[in-house]
Amino acid sequence: MKARTRFAPSPTGELHIGGVRTALFSWLLARHTGGEFFIRIEDTDQDRYVPGATRRILEAFDWLGLTLDGGPDHEELRSMKTNEDYPGALDDGEYRGVPGPFVQSHRLHLYKQWAEWLVEHGYAYRANETPEELARMREEAQARKQTFVFREEMRLRTDVRPDEPHVIRMRVLPREGRTEFDDLIRGRLSFDNSQIDDQVLLKADGFPTYHLAVVVDDHLQGVTHVLRGDDWLSSAPKHVLLYRYFGWQEPKWAHLPNVLGTDGKKLSKRHGAQSVFEFRDQGYIPEALINFLALLGWAPGGGDEQNVFTIEELIARFSIEGIGSSPAIFDYNKLDWLNGVHIRRLSDEDLARRLVPFLERAGIPIDTAERFEKLLRITPHIKERIKKLTDAAPFVDFIFGEIETPPPEALIGPKMDRESAIGALQATIKLVRAFEPFEDQPLEQAMRQLCADLGLKPTQLFSLVRNAVSGKSVTPPLFATMAVLGRGTCLVRLERALDRLLRAES
């Protein structure tokens, strides 16, 4: 069947990586089945609302390349608590049959309507206990070493009028027995009704709680599969009961296992980056992050041990049956490895363009066509050496700026003395000044012949030349580096190095 799935974040902060994993699984299921995936912004908790959070969520999906079949449009975003309009937002509110609006604060009339329907049909009731009264009830339960579960018989007042401030709470029916349902990952689940409290569905300010809003919205927007973290497992029986009260068909449930750090504890800030943009800014590319997140709890099955996937391969292979029930381990070493693999899969020009903002952040502006051409020429030679985009700057900084001439000891190759190093530099300068064409492969052949003529090993000559032209002992391949630097720059740096050695000698 075609799946219609959603991701429903709250605009209360950055989009964290655990939520992205949930969204990715939902997106992959929709794409694999030829269905739809949409975003719904759950902004009913207005006290915790963070301006700009919705815009950042949409930007994160754009960066990841997770396309939407529905979501808040420009008008909806502009009319939120703060203006969240975003250039990449969808142009209107309905896509491929998914009905809007896609911002919960724009759907309050629907929650009111269905909460009143529950009251009218005996599945909910009005209550007006104050926060102070409820706090006292909780304290009394704690004193008895009991879990606080609010039930209708605990009401302090039963004559609550519709026109006075109150909340609407669901009745758990039947009071005894169990609520059971099937979970696509965990199998048959069963919950004791006596431990399910009469949940607040509609608050006194007219805003719904998550429990009412998610059920109403998922039904009206045609969601067929609900994928969410197993943190919501304890709430699932309340949602199942609401579906049954309304007489609506339940979606298929799939509660995803937690993501843990390598220490076996739930992933948190102490384990490193948490938001999508932290990973982006640390030099991870979306292709690798998507690949890595897909493997957090999912495997292709059938004995297939493939680890590297394109997004197209993930769409073709994904199934809920491949999701395990055990917690997944977030291993940065594996993410780094995958990032390096996906970097090497990029074309040279694509990689060069992605490197530009990271180089600029490191103080290496690529602000002219000539400088970009140099970057493009050196890119294939650093591609194998970097795991993250932030790794590139030390490999190319000397190409785009001046260097300090190394000290004399760095200009003397292994098992060489100052006199032989001076002779080697003089011979190299002579070769570089006259050699044509000044390209890496011909240059390498000529320099190897020079080694033979001077009676030196390549490691001896090449190490001192590398230090002289780059100021570093580790660089991209020497002759590719020299070709990109150009004859003029190489000569200037070689002559300075020779001068340093000559002056040190005297």
SS3 of residue 347 by DSSP = coil
Residues 6+ apart with CB under 8 A from 418: 408, 412, 501, 504, 505
pLDDT digits (tens, 9 = 90+) for 453-488: 999 999 999 999 999 999 999 999 999 999 999 999
Closest listed residue to residue 485, CA positions, set 499, 466, 462: 466
pLDDT level of residue 273 (50, 70, 90 thresholds) = low
pLDDT level of residue 340 (50, 70, 90 thresholds) = very high
pLDDT of residue 116: 98
Give percent of the chain with pLDDT exceeding 90: 86
269 is catalytic: yes
Q: In the structure encoding, which two tokens stand for residue 311, read together?
A: 């997004």
Query: Which one of 2, 269, 415, 430 is the catalytic residue?
Result: 269
Residues 255-269 have a mean pLDDT of 84
The reported pTM is 0.92
* Residue 311 pLDDT greater than 90, yes or no: yes
pLDDT of residue 262: 83
How far out from the chain centre does Cα 214 lie?
24
Closest listed residue to residue 119, CA positions, set 222, 221, 246: 246
Question: Interhelix angle for 458-470 vs 487-505, to 10°?
Answer: 100
pLDDT of residue 310: 96
Ramachandran bin of 92, using left for φ above 0, alpha for ψ from -120 to 50, beta for the remaining angles: beta
If one compares 301 and 167, the residue with the highest pLDDT of the two is 167
